Amino acid sequence: MEPAASRQAFRGRWVRVDEEDWPAGTWEVVRPLDAACVLPITPDGDVILVRQFRAAARRPILEIPAGLLDVEGEQPIDCAARELYEETGYRHDSIELLARVLPSPGFSTERIHVHVATTKHRPEGEPEDGIEIVRRPFAEAVEETRAGRIEDAKTALALLLSASRGVGG
Binding site for a second copy (CB under 8 A): 1-3, 9-10, 12-15, 17, 19-20, 22, 24, 26-30, 32, 35, 53-59, 61, 63, 66, 68, 97-110, 112, 130, 142, 145-146, 148, 150-154, 156-157, 160-161, 163-165
The rounded distance, in Å, linking the Cα atoms of 3 and 19 is 10
Residue 58 or 121: the one with the smaller Cβ distance to a second copy is 58
Q: How many CB atoms lie within 10 A of CB 29?
A: 17
The least CB distance from residue 140 to a second copy, in Å, is 14
91 or 145: CB nearest a second copy: 145
Q: How far is the CB of 92 from a second copy (least distance, A)?
A: 19
Q: Yes or no: say if 156 and 39 are a contact pair by the CB < 8 Å rule.
A: no
Q: Cβ closer to a second copy: 55 or 121?
A: 55
Helix, strand, or coil here: 145?
Answer: helix
Q: How many CA atoms lie within 13 A of 28 on its CB side?
A: 8
Pick 92 or 113: Cβ nearer a second copy: 113
- Give the closest residue to 113 by CA, choosing from 63, 15, 38, 30: 38
